[in-house]
Structure 1
Amino acid sequence: MTDPSSSSTAPPDRQSGPTSAPVLRRGLKVLGTLLITLSAISPASSVFIIAPGVVAQAGSGAFWSFVVAAVVGVFMAFVYAELASAYPLTGGEYAIVARTLGKLPGFVTLGLLMVTQLLIIAVIALGVGTYLEVLIPGLPGPLVAAVTTALVTALAVFDVKLNAWITGVFLVIEMIALLVVSALGLFDPARPLGELITAPVAASDGVVGPAALGLITAAAAVAIFSYNGYGSAVYFGEETTNAHRGIARAILWALAITVASELIPVTAVLLGAPSLEELFAAENMMGYFVTAQAGSTVNTVISLAVALAILNAVLAIILITSRMVFSTGRDAAWPGTISRALAAVHPRTGTPWIATIATGAFATALCFVDKDLLLVVTATSIVAVYAALCLAVLNGRRNKSTEHAAYRMPWFPVAPVLALAALAYVVWQNAMDPVIGRPSLLITAGIGVVSALYYLLVVRRRGTWELKGAEDDD
């Protein structure tokens, strides 16, 4: 990683509004921002919920799928770090794209994020009941998810420093669970590492045989999303001290920790599973592995830790999404009364309290929507956002709108160009999938079109959408 502090910075063109624009309180250190970001990624949730899908597709070749995804993650982390060090704004991706590519692409990015971020909260919250069933069988999933989201929303209104430490404590528990899973496989392996590297196998119609390269690379598309979230640090740019340098460091560290905390446990499971055939056929792969290696009691404890990790992720993502919603109000993206309400900052906690409550309320209601529909809507939107950011960093270098960035990625433009190539492959893979991928691409395109029309026919004509940011650079 390149040291973000190695480059100098010039005062950024933040396109700030009047001095009366709502300002969030700078109370976070880089560590606090990193803790919230890692909690939003939730490595334990990825290992227990997303990784089994990669293993089901690529078999023991999932090792290589996660390695390839890590390489793509490095490319995107470089992109995020450079852009975020130039514009460490609460609006996140939409605020960056609008300043580097133009307001129309920025508003389309906003539309995609507004829809998917709210849905993602519900998707993750629905996992709480699944893992609590080890204690209370038959829990109504949507109701548990809704109650969880509502309670977490109330907590999210409080001071961001308090929430950073709460997420930090939960994150430690999550990491301990991953360490246990890693130890169960690495200290008692059933096969050598060389077998995973040189002779990966996968199941096809119940028969285990050599894993095809196509299966491994296709599964990497899913593994990419298991690492996703390291760029979320930018949403706390206006609440983090020395944000121009600090946010870049938080992004790069978040990616490094995420890769280690997901790749190592996945590798351990593939090495330590008593039978790959039984692992591939198991309805709950991670439950099978932990139970086989350590017994049902340890599996119950690990399941509870995963439930806590999911709850922690819900809290972190509500914190992130509410910052974006606050920024839309401050930028006057909506009618006057709504924008002013969303831009309100609580005088005591210094947090965007109305935006937080609105975010939680919508997400709570979405917990009762069919989960398969939620997955279809959210599956590919991040691809469009990633592509916009790659184009943004390329254009930012060209038109010098990111010239003041405190972090400059190494080997430019290798990272954004290769990331765009990987994203194109992901789009192609999704287009070949008639069940989730293709409908998701069509929905993503539809959201983009609706967002563009709203901007062109309403927002631009009204002429009130202003790109505002923090008044200071400290």
Structure 2
Amino acid sequence: MPDAETLDRPPFDTGSPQAVPAGHPAPGHSAPGHPAPGGLRRSMRLPGALLIALSAISPASSVFIIVPGVLATAGSGALLSMAAGAAIAWCLAFVFAELASAYPLSGGEYAIVGRVVGPFWGFLVMGASLIGNCLIPAVMALGLSTYLGVLLPGLPPVPTALVTIAIVTLVGILNIRTNAVLTGLFLVVEILALLVLVALGFLHVARPLTGLLLHPAMPGGTGLVPASPAMIGMATSVALFAYNGYGAAVYFGEETHDAGRHIARAVMWAFAIAIASELVPVIAILMGAPDLRALLGARNMLGDFIAARGGPILATMVSLGIALAIFNALIAMMLLAARIAYSTGRDRIWPAGLSGALTRTHRRFHSPWVATLVCGVIAGLACLVPETALLVITSSTLVLIAGLLCVAVIMGRHNGTTDHGHYRMPLFPLLPAVALLAMLSIVYTNWLDPVIGRPSLAATGAICVASALYYRLVLRRRGAWVLRGPDDC
């Protein structure tokens, strides 16, 4: 495998690698001892990138917000669904790690797909990624009032969300190292909340693990009925998204020292910690629930579980911890959205004035402050949109992005555009092939859901059509769309 120090960045409008004299760093591999020459500075190391990626996953938020949906769909079969989702996420983590090692750029997935598969496909990913990362914070902010309500009952969702977005936007302008420390402190609270959940379950075991695995059940009639493979499979698609976010480390590649060598590690460590911190609590809940049918039929499953096993005071404390976890995830998501917007400005996607503004960095904090403010305004406006509509718009964008990343890692091996990366996944091409098949199965599952799934697929299709039209009618008329890196600033 060629050494990254002997390969320069490929010509980004074609996606093919090009050798240059030794000493010219590859994308994201700034020369030793020198910062990246762009507006973003390499001021963070592996632990910082890992902390922000874990905050983007937000294990506590996933367990308390997404996992109840898995439990409601598959009953105790949720354990099998979470395990299957972890297996698929494992395949995708290797895909992310290999591609991030080759292209640790602030544009994230679109910057990778555009260089490896082609500019047109990269632009489709850009449209889906930018919209998703700007709207998902609004969904999370709107749900924050539910958990803050234990302290301040009757808190209005929309005003609370708007204030939260404003605070998160201002925090996002701070130095990336400051944000890494801040998210790390909040992450400690998340893990403590999950440890409480685990302790309550394992200290009051009501049923064996083998029974849950061999005889999964779900509510039916007046009791429990066997959970069908179809319901377990449907819940798997939800479980997969509970682990999502481990690839977030790539967005901070231009702010991480020796990113080409370290980002892949950050991705894999984030994945491993996410699996442990989400799967173990699910096991504890199902093993420790006093009444499995009552748990699965409850409106607030985990809140009722904590109250039953630990009392109402502990349940209130955990709810406040979850509110903090959501706030922490919002910070991480705003950081991600700002880096994508910054990258689109550098790639001159928008009119010259807007593109130039998006690339401006703060003199003191070296953060993309204009991009952060723009993303904050978009997220704030999205808080005025019904939450169901936001879920429809964003739910299937992750499937499109993950599917094209699987294609990219296979093509990168074939056409040599990822040869300069420092990391190679094992079991290639089995892992990306399995992940790609999983994405296709999720598309099929979504199609069967007429409430959210099918409209979400239609919304993602509309985003792709709009992106394709902009690419053909605006960018292509200017000439070849050139994807730029930190050395082009």
TM-score range, shorter chain: over 0.9
- How does 1:86-235 map onto structure 2 within 5 Å? 86-235=102-251
Matching residue of 1:9:
4
* 1:464 Cα offset (Å): 6.9
Matching residue of 1:467:
483
| 2:81 is equivalent to residue 32 of structure 1 | no
Structural RMSD (CA): 1.7
How far apart, CA to CA, are the structure 2 residues paired with 1:37 and 1:22?
Answer: 22
Which stretches in structure 1 are left out of the alignment for 5+ residues? 1-5
Percent of residue pairs bearing the same amino acid type: 50
Letter in 2 for 1:192: P
1:436-460 per-residue CA deviation (whole Å, 9 max, x = no partner) reads 1001001101110110110011111
Matching residue of 1:341:
357
Secondary structure of the 1:471 match is helix
Matching residue of 2:341:
325
CA contact (8 A) 2:36 2:486 kept: no
* 1:123 Cα offset (Å): 0.6
Matching residue of 2:22:
none
* 1:471 Cα offset (Å): 2.4
Alignment partner of 2:84 out of 52, 56, 68: 68
CA contact (8 A) 1:88 1:238 kept: yes
CA contact (8 A) 1:333 1:464 kept: no
How far apart, CA to CA, are the structure 1 residues paired with 2:369 and 2:90?
Answer: 34
- How does 1:401-440 map onto structure 2 within 5 Å? 401-440=417-456
How far apart, CA to CA, are the structure 2 residues paired with 1:81 and 1:30?
Answer: 14
With over 3 angstroms needed to count, the CA separation of the structure-2 counterparts of 1:294 and 1:102, relative to structure 1, is same
With over 3 angstroms needed to count, the CA separation of the structure-2 counterparts of 1:229 and 1:31, relative to structure 1, is same
* 1:361 Cα offset (Å): 1.2
1:267-292 per-residue CA deviation (whole Å, 9 max, x = no partner) reads 11111010011101100000010000
Letter in 1 for 2:203: F
* 1:246 Cα offset (Å): 0.5
CA contact (8 A) 1:279 1:288 kept: yes
CA contact (8 A) 2:2 2:419 kept: no
Which stretches in structure 2 are left out of the alignment for 5+ residues? 14-34
* 1:215 Cα offset (Å): 1.0
TM-score, normalisation: structure 1:
0.96
Secondary structure of the 1:208 match is strand
How far apart, CA to CA, are the structure 1 residues paired with 2:130 and 2:486?
Answer: 21
* 1:345 Cα offset (Å): 1.2
CA contact (8 A) 2:10 2:417 kept: no
- Matched residues, number: 466
- How does 1:293-442 map onto structure 2 within 5 Å? 293-442=309-458
1:219-262 per-residue CA deviation (whole Å, 9 max, x = no partner) reads 00000000001001100000000100110000000000000000
How far apart, CA to CA, are the structure 2 residues paired with 1:340 and 1:187?
Answer: 57
With over 3 angstroms needed to count, the CA separation of the structure-2 counterparts of 1:287 and 1:401, relative to structure 1, is same
1:9-63 per-residue CA deviation (whole Å, 9 max, x = no partner) reads 343425589x998431101111000000100110000000000000011111101
Letter in 2 for 1:330: R
Alignment partner of 2:288 out of 272, 282, 306: 272
With over 3 angstroms needed to count, the CA separation of the structure-2 counterparts of 1:464 and 1:356, relative to structure 1, is farther
CA contact (8 A) 1:396 1:403 kept: yes
How far apart, CA to CA, are the structure 1 residues paired with 2:195 and 2:71?
Answer: 20
